[in-house]
Each structure stands twice: as structure tokens, then as C-alpha cells.
A and B are shown apart, each in its own frame.
Chain A
Amino acid sequence: MNKSHLYIALILSGLGLGLFLYKVLALGFPVVKETKASIWYVETHVTFEADGGPVKVVMNIPGNQATLRVSDESFVSPGYGLTIKEEGVDRQAIWSVREAYGEQSLYYRGVVRRLPAKDLPKFEEAPSVIPHGFDGAELVAAKAILKEAKSRSADLESMVQQLIKIINRPKPDELVAPLLKADASVRDKALLMVRILALEGIPARLRHGVKLEDTREAILIERFQVFEKGRWACYDPITAEKKSLPGQECLFLWRGESPQVTVDGGHNVRASTAVRATLEQAMENAITRGRTSNPLLIKFSLFSLPVRVQQVYEVILLVPVGAFLIVILRNLVGIRTSGVFMPVLIALAFRETKISWGIILFVSMVLLGLAVRFLLDRLKLLLVPRLTVVLLSVIGFMVAISILTNHLGLERGVSVALFPMVILTMTIERFCIIWEESGPAETLYRGVASLAAATCAYLVMSWHPVGYLVFVFPELLVVIMAFTLLIGRYSGYRVSDLVRFKAISEKQR
């Protein structure tokens, strides 16, 4: 018996596993995905029109906070002098230039890293109370607000919430009007609340931050913080909703009531902040290590590709995994699906639609297609034109389902467009033939078998550890290839044979 497939399989799995082990053991690539991203690039871009004279830009920049460290900062500001002012946790970048004309553009960049829980130092500035600075009529008005808030509440927490509600009452409110302009910003309101709480000696402050998630233009999150029972409690300064403590997913950019950027000698100031989550810490370290010890390996790896292409490969590399599953189902289990790789492609579509919607959409598309196909039967069209008509109606149904589900607000239904329509058309034709040739029972069997195979493939392909492993360690696909070679020469019984030929084994005994 020819054994060369065995040797090839051995060599292939040796190569694949060897590279895999080298990457894990020597370079330290993590085998399981770290559950949270832990490095982000944060970038704030400031633009304004300079007036032609001296310009001074003061920008609040983020500092270290409870679980996050800011490092590797860089400031892009051609022609400007830069000083950094640090006061406790408050940090400011001050750019200045003697004279500037026209459109100006400045960048701040920093890398934010999450600290592992064990390295967390105690890191919280002492709460301080600013002088409230009210006098005369203002003092009376402020005290009246405080009194009202207190009268409606039982403890500090509810008092703060009442205070936020009073301040945010729709204008004009006789209580608040003397202290707040009609067009007061969130910052103005927060400053007022800080001063009112200062009357009671309660430390409070406003903080501004961004969510740490991929975005080109982060929305600023404002949190009103009050020091209660030894901790800073956070409130939404508009809705008064109590929020959990500064979440790990939130990077505070600055605190206080000042705007993020103030420009002297310029107008039309715009500031936007972008965030990009990046590879996990351990992975980044591994790649850095790889660059020095084995530069070719990293240079010719998937990580060298542009991010967008990488995302495409994350999907493509899952296809062999699904195909391998089909090999197992067909050659070891003995399930007869309709079309060899049709279930894999359907499973890919399921990834986008999610499984329950995917099955509903798939079944309805096939049923509609079959209905059209049976109607077409009367017209006696030739094979290829008939397939094309079915294809056209399949696409028509896709459009109809997308529009309909969109109007009904069923977001997932819209994704029907992701089904591979040519495959769907061939599937419909094949089901139709099976129906005519072998009857409804066989058609149902094939349909259910294909759907079951697609579901299995979906479950495996959408399981995150699998996607992570094949993307970070594509050499594992070589191991899959080795196993496929072995199955390709497997000449033993399939599970289905055990049922099918049971009668013979009995007679023999």
C-alpha cells in the first residue's frame, strides 16, 4: 500500500506545529486572545484660523488615571513652542508662536495602556473644595436651590441628583435664572453645581472623557463627580443618572470646567479626538520580539498587511476550517449535503446575519426560489436561461426582503444580501431536481442535512478562539491540511455505514 500520504501528512503537521510552537514558546504569542484590548492610540486634532498676531493654544491633555497609563506622547505643531504644565493630575500642553496666519493644525498623540489589576497603585488626588464665591443676591439664590434640593432628598446621592435636575429645568426657571445664562453650556452648569455644593463643603468636579473604542471622532462624555463616602461618584450632568465609577473603557481627558482647547489669537476652533484600539499587549511584545530575533517571519506575516486586508483574511482563513468540518461530516460521518461547499458559504453568511435569522432567511429564500422554479417548469425553458431566471428572482427576493425588513425595523433581515446568490440558485435547482427524481422525503433530508452542516460550520467558524488561532497562527491550516490528507485516504467505515449495513453484520454472527 502506498504510504506517501502518511509521510507528507507527518511532514506537514511537523512544520505547522513546529512554527506554531516556536511562535508560542520562543516569541510568546498568546494562545488565547486576551479578552480586552489593552492598548489604544488617542489622537486629538485641533484646527483654527489664526488672526495674524501672536497665538497661544492651551490644550488639556490626559494624564494617568486609576487603571490607565499615558505614554509615548507626541505633539505635532510645526513652528510652535511647546511647554507642558502639570498640576497634580491636570496636564496642559501650551503651544505658542509669535505670529501665525490662516489655517492652523495641531496634533496631540498618546498611547494609553491598561495596567494589569495587580500593578494598580493607589492613585487618586485628594478632594478639595473650591471657594464658592457667591455673594449678595447670588448667594441667596444658590442657597434657595440647595434648600430645594435638600428638601426633596434623603441622602447625599439623591440630593445631588435633585440638584442636577433643578439646574437642568427648562428655562425660564425663577430659581436658577439669576445664576445661569439662558444658553449655558454643560460646563457652565457644572461649574454652578460645583459652587453650590461648595456651600456645603462637598467636593465636586466635572470630568470630560472619551470611550476607548475605535472611532474617528469620539463623542465627549461628561461626568459630574461628587466625593461621597471616600469615593468619587459619577453622575450624568444632564439626566442625573448615576453612572458606575470611571469605567475602564473610559479615558478622562481633562477635568474642570474649562473647554478642552482655548486659543488666544485665533478663531473657529475645532477639536476632535480619535481612538484606535490596537493589538493586545502580549501580542505586541511578541511581534516586537519577533522583529529582532526573526525579522523575516514578521515581515512576511499577516501582520505586515494593511489593517483592512487583515480583516478580509480573518474571514478567508475561516473557510478552510469550515471545509475541513465538511470533510469530516461527509467522509467520516457520512452526511449527504447538497453541494460540497455550499454549507460553508451559507455558514459565512450566517456569521453576518446571526444564526436564527440566517436560517429563517435561508429557508424562505429557498422556498421562494423553489416556488418560482416550479412555476417556470410550465414554461419549458432551457437549462441555463432557466437558472438565470431563478437567479434574477433570488436577487429580487433579496431586495424585497431587505426593504421590507428595513421598514419593519428588523435590522438583521437587511443582511440577507450577504447570502451567496449564485450558490443559492444552484441549490434551488438541485433541490428541485431531487424533488422530482427522489421525492419530497429525500429533498427534506438533503435540505435538513445541508442546513445542519451549515449550522455546524457556523458554530465552529464563529467561535472566537478558532478565528483567533487561524489568524494569529495560520500555520495551523497546514496541520488541517495534513489531517485532510489522512481522511482522504481513510478507508474504514463511516458512521452512516454502521446503520446502513447493520443487517449484514447480524447475519454473519
Chain B
Amino acid sequence: MRWALPGALKRGGVLAINRRNAHYTQFLNPRKQYPLVDDKLATKRLVMDSGISVPELYGLVEAPYQARNLDQILQERENFVIKPARGSGGKGILVFSGRYKRAYRLSNGHLMEAEELRHHVLDILGGLFSLGGQPDKAFVEEKVNFDPVFEAVSYQGVPDVRIIVFMAVPVMAMVRLPTRRSDGKANLHKGAVGVGVDMATGKTLGGVLGNAPVAEHPDTGHPIVGLQVPHWEMLLSLAARCGDLTGMGYLGVDLVLDRIKGPLLLELNARPGLNIQIANGAGLLPRLEEVRRERCRLREVEDRVRFSMERFAAL
């Protein structure tokens, strides 16, 4: 059979999009908090105030005329990332890792002229990549030097860790590995591999590519199971704090591991994707229920992290 019966999904505790929208994101995420999450610059400001580290912001382009100052922002930098402030799904993000004469080298090796880069920034400002086509801002930030654990299982890009946080309790996590197809970005929609993570230990479980399970990285061929995510407990407590800070009941937290700076917060998502369940081979619903039942006794961040490490361990 190519499909499962609804009853089987229900027994598996699968959270699907209708239910996520109707019972979680719409109910638990207050409308007025959305701008904090949808705008990456606002998120940066919010979390920096409370001491969470983020990739350094090099510069900001808010209006077309400022695009001329791009050279000034970039100076002699070789490693940087250009992003739309209100983008999603990796859209409009360019990751650079070098220069060649007047041109910039993308992480996939292609060169981009300064002129082309400026045009891309103008497209971002025009709202080409933003939610609903609204005019947007572009910003330049530091390129993360990712931790060498994932060296062998990342193709020309930075892997990130996605943690679903429900009522400020981390409930499920995955590592996302860029592939040739995902073009240096770790977004599943673009073709990155998602790898489930054991909440208790931070060790990777199995992976998914699209909707199908995989055990090796499609480009490097390395096994993706059994890798240890460094600073695991710290990542969980960072995620839990983001839940507190935003007041969002159902949140996706994107973290990266910098070789030197340690865990950095990349962005927050008010409507995180659901494929994380496939990566973990487990449904979200039972975990969400468990948190809902016991949330009132979990006051401190440490309590919540311990709770999720104990309860959501892989079997």
C-alpha cells in the first residue's frame, strides 16, 4: 500500500498540517508576537538583549539607494551571508565564502559579480522572497564556521539544528544537513537531509530526504546515524529560553553550532514544518499531550530541559 489509513497515522501520533494550524499555531501563537519571529532582525534584537548569541550582523540595507553602500558593508570580507529579513524556507539566502577579483564566490563555487549581488539585494527589498510579497529589508551577517562534527555529512553549506518547542518545552529535534540540491542551505524543502535526534543524548537517529527515510548523506555517502551533536543540553536550554522570550506556544528554533562561538541562534519559526516527525520516526502528538499535562510543575528552564531529556528519549 502506498498510503496509510487515517487510523494508523492517529495511532502513530502524527501531527498533520490541519491540526497544527487549528489547534497549535493559531491558538498558542499570539498574533501580535508574530513580527518578532517573522522578522529575523527583530528576533536578533530580542534574543541578544537576553544574552543569547547570534551570528554577528555586518550591515543592513533598508532602501534601494543604500544598495550602493553594499561595498562599504562588505569591505574586505570573504565569508558572509545575505538574507531577506522576512524570508522563509531558505528563499533569497546567499552564502559567500570567498572572493575572486571583483567578484564574490558563493559556497557552491560559483562567482557572482558585484552588480548581480546588488540586483539580488534589490529583489529582496522589492519583496520577492518575503511572506506575502511585502517590501522587505536585506541584511548581511557573519557566515557561521560550523562545528567539524558535521564536516563529513554536509555538502557546501552550514547544517543547523531545528528544535520544536511547545509551551517553552523542547519536544523534538533534528539536524538538517545541506546537500548539493539544497544549495548550501539546510532547508528540507530545498532538498536538505533531516536527521532525527535523540532528545536524551543528542545522538542522531535516522534521516529523511523528501519524504523517504535515508541512512547516508546523498552526496558524501557518509552514514548520518549515531553522530553526537555537541553542547546538546545547552542547545535545549537555548531553545527553551526562546520559547519564554517570544511568548509563542508552538515554535521552531533554528540553531547553528559555531566552531568558536558555540551555539548561535539563527532564526525562529512560528509555523515550523512537520517533516521533523518523519526524521525522528515518531509523531509529535503524544509528546505535546504529555507536556500539556505536566507543564504547570515545570517552572525553571532546567526543569523543562530535564523533562524533555527524560521523557522524550528514543527507545
Point out residues on A near B: beta carbons under 8 Å. Answer: 331, 334, 380, 382-384, 433, 437-439, 489-495, 497-509
A-B residue pairs in contact (CB < 8 Å), sample of 27: A331-B18, A380-B115, A380-B119, A433-B128, A438-B190, A491-B21, A492-B6, A497-B16, A498-B4, A499-B2, A500-B211, A500-B278, A501-B16, A502-B1, A502-B4, A503-B208, A503-B211, A503-B213, A503-B278, A504-B9, A504-B14, A504-B277, A504-B278, A504-B283, A505-B9, A506-B4, A508-B12
Whether the Cβ atoms of B9 and A498 lie closer than 8 Å is: yes
Whether the Cβ atoms of A383 and B282 lie closer than 8 Å is: no
Whether the Cβ atoms of B277 and A501 lie closer than 8 Å is: yes
Neighbouring B residues of A500 by C-beta, 8 Å: 211, 278
Does B11 make an interface contact (CB < 8 A)? yes
Q: Which of these, A384, A492, A499, A501, contacts B12 with CB under 8 Å? A: A501
Neighbouring B residues of A495 by C-beta, 8 Å: 3
A127 to B11, CA, bound (A): 84
Neighbouring B residues of A492 by C-beta, 8 Å: 6, 16, 18-19
Interface residue ranges of B79-138 to A (CB < 8 Å): 89, 91, 115-116, 119, 122-123, 126-128
Does B5 make an interface contact (CB < 8 A)? yes
Name the residue of chain B whose CB is nearest to the CB of A430: B133
Whether the Cβ atoms of A504 and B126 lie closer than 8 Å is: no
CB distance from A432 to the nearest CB of B (A): 10
A293 to B12, CA, bound (A): 59
Q: Can you name 13 extra interface pairs (CB under 8 A) apart from A383-B122, A501-B14?
A: A331-B18, A382-B64, A492-B18, A497-B14, A497-B17, A499-B3, A500-B211, A501-B277, A501-B278, A502-B2, A504-B9, A505-B8, A509-B11
CB distance from B263 to the nearest CB of A (A): 28
A504 to B282, CA, bound (A): 6
A498 to B282, CA, bound (A): 15
A438 to B3, CA, bound (A): 25
Q: Which of these, A489, A497, A501, A507, contacts B22 with CB under 8 Å? A: A489
A439 to B91, CA, bound (A): 13
Does B222 make an interface contact (CB < 8 A)? no
Mostly, the A contact residues are helix
Q: Give the tally of cross-chain contacts (CB within 8 A).
A: 106
Whether the Cβ atoms of A491 and B23 lie closer than 8 Å is: yes
Name the residue of chain B whose CB is nearest to the CB of A500: B211
Whether the Cβ atoms of B123 and A383 lie closer than 8 Å is: yes
Name the residue of chain A whose CB is nearest to the CB of B18: A491
Given contacts A382-B122, A491-B23, A493-B18, contact A502 B3 (CB under 8 A): yes
A494 to B6, CA, bound (A): 9
Q: Which of these, A384, A491, A493, contacts B9 with CB under 8 Å? A: A493
A499 to B4, CA, bound (A): 6
Neighbouring B residues of A501 by C-beta, 8 Å: 4, 9, 12, 14, 16, 277-278, 283
Give per-residue flags for B1-40: 1 if the beta carbon is below 8 A from chain A beta carbons, else 0.
1111110111111101111011100000000000000000
Name the residue of chain A whose CB is nearest to the CB of B282: A504
Name the residue of chain B whose CB is nearest to the CB of A506: B4
Does B281 make an interface contact (CB < 8 A)? yes
Neighbouring B residues of A438 by C-beta, 8 Å: 189-190
CB distance from A231 to the nearest CB of B (A): 64
Q: Which of these, A331, A384, A498, A503, contacts B126 with CB under 8 Å? A: A384
Neighbouring A residues of B89 by C-beta, 8 Å: 437
Name the residue of chain A whose CB is nearest to the CB of B10: A493
A383 to B212, CA, bound (A): 37
Whether the Cβ atoms of B278 and A437 lie closer than 8 Å is: no
Whether the Cβ atoms of A491 and B19 lie closer than 8 Å is: yes
Name the residue of chain A whose CB is nearest to the CB of B208: A503
Give per-residue flags for B189-200: 1 if the beta carbon is below 8 A from chain A beta carbons, else 0.
110000000000
CB distance from A4 to the nearest CB of B (A): 14
CB distance from B16 to the nearest CB of A (A): 4
Whether the Cβ atoms of B211 and A494 lie closer than 8 Å is: no
A501 to B119, CA, bound (A): 40
Q: Which of these, B6, B91, B128, contacts A493 with CB under 8 Å? A: B6
Neighbouring B residues of A499 by C-beta, 8 Å: 2-4, 211
Complex A-B, nearest 8 residue pairs according to Cβ-Cβ distance, in ascending order:
A383-B126, A505-B8, A491-B19, A505-B4, A498-B3, A508-B12, A491-B22, A380-B119
A505 to B7, CA, bound (A): 9
Neighbouring A residues of B213 by C-beta, 8 Å: 503
Whether the Cβ atoms of B277 and A494 lie closer than 8 Å is: no
Interface residue ranges of B172-223 to A (CB < 8 Å): 181, 189-190, 208, 211-213
Given contacts A383-B128, A437-B190, contact A505 B17 (CB under 8 A): no
